[in-house]
Structure formats: C-alpha cells, structure tokens
Amino acid sequence: MASALSITPRSAGARRPVRVLKFGGTSMGTTPEELARIARIVAAAHARSDVVVVVSARGDRTDRLIDEARSANAAPPGRELDQLLATGEAGSAALLAIALHGLGVPAVSLLGSQAGFTVSGRHANGRIQDVDTSRVRQALSRGEAAVVAGFQGVNAAGDVITLGRGGSDTSAVALAVALGAAQCEIYTDVDGVFSADPRIVPGARPIPLLRSGVMSEMAHAGARVLHTRSVELAGRAGVDLHVRSTFSRNPGTVVVSGQEGADIAMLETEDRVTAVSHEPHSARVTAVGTSPDAPLLGTEVLALLADASVPIDVLSRFTDASHGHGWDFTVPAADVDTVTSLLTSLPCRVAVDPAVAKVSLVGAGLMSDTRTLARMLNALLAAGIDPLSLSTSQSRISATVGEADCSRAVAVMHGEFMPVPEPCGATKRTAVAVGSPV
C-alpha cells in the first residue's frame, strides 16, 4: 500500500515565504509572446518571494503527442506513451527557465523525478506517493526560481508515470503541501470558478469563495477548472487554492480548505445549490445477469473496473424477475472499450450507450430540502429532457441525459436554481439562451 504523501515543513532559516504557482497549457501558449507573459508574472513573484513554478505542456502539445503515438501504433504501450507525454511538460519547464534567465531571474528547470516525485500505480493514472523536496529547496536557497515539469514522477523501478490529464494541478498542490506553503496559485485561461460553464450559460456567476468539499464535487462532476485529485489533496492538507486568470487582473476564486468564510452564512431558507457542473463525454453501461440464477455480479463488476482504474458514477443496482439482477452506471467515454472488454469475461449481457452526458447540481445539504430533486426533475421534463438515470447525495444530484441535450440541461438547471437577475424594466426571461453542445 502506498505511503502517505510526505510533508516536510519549511526550514526555520527560510528568509522569504514560498509561493507555488501553476500554469496550464493554455496559459503557457505556443508563441514567444505568451511565454514572455508567464515569465514576467513569475519574475514579479520572485522579486518578493521564493518561487516554485509548475507547468503543463504548452497549448495542445499533449494531444499532438498522443496523435503521433497512435500514428505509429494504434495501441501504444502505456510505458512508452508516458515516456513520450512527459516530454511536453519537460519542454515547457526548460523554455520558461530560459525565458526567466533572459529577464535576469536565476532559474532551474526540473523534471518530476528531479523534483522528487515518487509515483505509484498504473501508467497514465499514477498516484503521488512521496515528494522529496531537497533539490527544490537547494534551488530556492541559491535564490533560483524552481520550474518543475508537472503531471509526472517516477516509480520504484525508475520508470516515468504520469498522473492523468490535468495532473499538473496535483503536482503543484503536492509541492505546496511538501514545502509548507499555505496556498497554491493556479493560473488558467478563465477568471476563476463559475456557477456554470459561461460558454453554455452566459449569465453564470463568478464564485469568489468556495469550500474545498464543494469544489471537489464540482470537479468530480465535470468542472474542468481544477483536477479533482488536486482539490482533494489540498483539502486534506489544509492548503488553499487560488484560481485566477493569466490574462486579467480579476480576483478569481479562492478554494478554502477549512470552514472560514466559505458559504457558512447559508440559512435553511436559502437555496443550497452552488453550481451546475457537467461532463459531456460519458457513457452509460448496463450489465445484466444472464439468468435469475446467475451469481451476483456486483463484486466482480466493481473489482474488474477498479483494477483497471476505470472511474464509475451514477451507480444503481436493479432486480428484474425475468432478467435477474444487474447494474447501471456511467464511465468516461474514453473507457468504453476497456469496460466492454473486461465485462465480456462475466456471465452477463452488456449494453453501452456511448452518447450520454452527466449534469449535476452541486452544493451543500441538497437533499435536506425535499423540494430540490422535484424542482430539478420538473425543470428538465418541462424542457423536454427525460433523465436516463439519477444519483443523489447531500452534496450532489446527478442526472444522465442524451449528449445532445447536455448544454440545454445545464442552462435549464441553472435557470431554475440560480436565475440571472433581469435589468430594471426588462421582460422576464423564461429560459437562458445557450450555444451548441460542448
């Protein structure tokens, strides 16, 4: 079993506070001008603090590397694919360090392994086991900015293991934890976290302050601003996250790890919904026993998927007199082939709907208000959207809908629970305009 992430307090002799900054692929960009913008932000931070920067691959570099791998082999081996994909972040780190030197800022680029990341688990889905910050601390003691390639580490055998898409967020949070930083700053291409995707709901509201538990549910339900595991790690370790735009001075969103100041003034009479999240690329899987006498499938189905690191959601078990029993759940669309292949080994019939989206209300105490679920269903049905399946909890209510209805479902649910205020004298709208499904 993997050991807990090591947390080494900052040495007593540190003269300046440590700031951990993370820049995503869209922030890093693909042009010299975009790289120079990031370098200036880092240089300004370095003038006041010890700085550790975690970077993603620039632009769509990861996607292009995947395409190159698949052009060479339709099913590239996991080890070699991780070796390849890690070069995207490595290149970003080296380029940013070069740009910083050009501004007169001493800097050193570090691969995940050089920055002390030990990772366990499967290729493309590694879990951080330990962070040895000694080399990062040495760089800081020399006055250098440490620029770390995110998304990666090495296992006990010395092989590169990547953390999954969005894993650079988790790399940054892990460094903030290990270095004793109180906050991790996530720079991205949006102005923080919103009550829904602004591309779908133009009137979506910025959320200045969030509890980490609510943000974790939003990320798990499809909000792509932060990697789900980065929020979970920050919440457990007591590190706040500051999500801000690389391209504006807007204050962004602070995700707090404790209770202080985040939604704690909510009264029982107020709406409990914080946001509407969505995951447009899901698949609905139904696995039914071949006969009423077939062995129970639950353990076998869930164990197979867990061993293959396939995340499931919106899970329900059903029993039918003629067909026996079965399971209904969602998986990421990218995992459909894996799921289908695994379940063929079991005594069951498998049906897959690959064109499903998951839309979710996220908040606190959702089911304590008995009207919440009814309001959600009534709003969807009134819009001609019939949910395929449902999952409820105090912090999230999820429905699966046809992929083509995803954007409309998000807008309908946001309009029901967080209607956009109308300007004085304007005619009240009955729906929120939306664009094409994403």
Question: Is 435's pLDDT higher than 60?
Answer: no
Which tens digit of pLDDT belongs to each residue from 351-392? 999 999 999 999 989 999 989 999 999 999 999 999 999 999
Q: Please report the pLDDT score of residue 10 as a whole number.
A: 38
**Whose structure tokens read 């292009």?**
64
Which tens digit of pLDDT belongs to each residue from 65-115? 999 999 999 999 999 999 999 999 999 999 999 999 999 999 999 999 999
Q: Which residues of 111-150 are buried (b: 16+ CB within 10 A; e: fewer)?
A: bbbbbbbbbbbbbbbbbbbbbebebbbebbeeebbbbbbb
Q: Please report the pLDDT score of residue 149 as a whole number.
A: 98
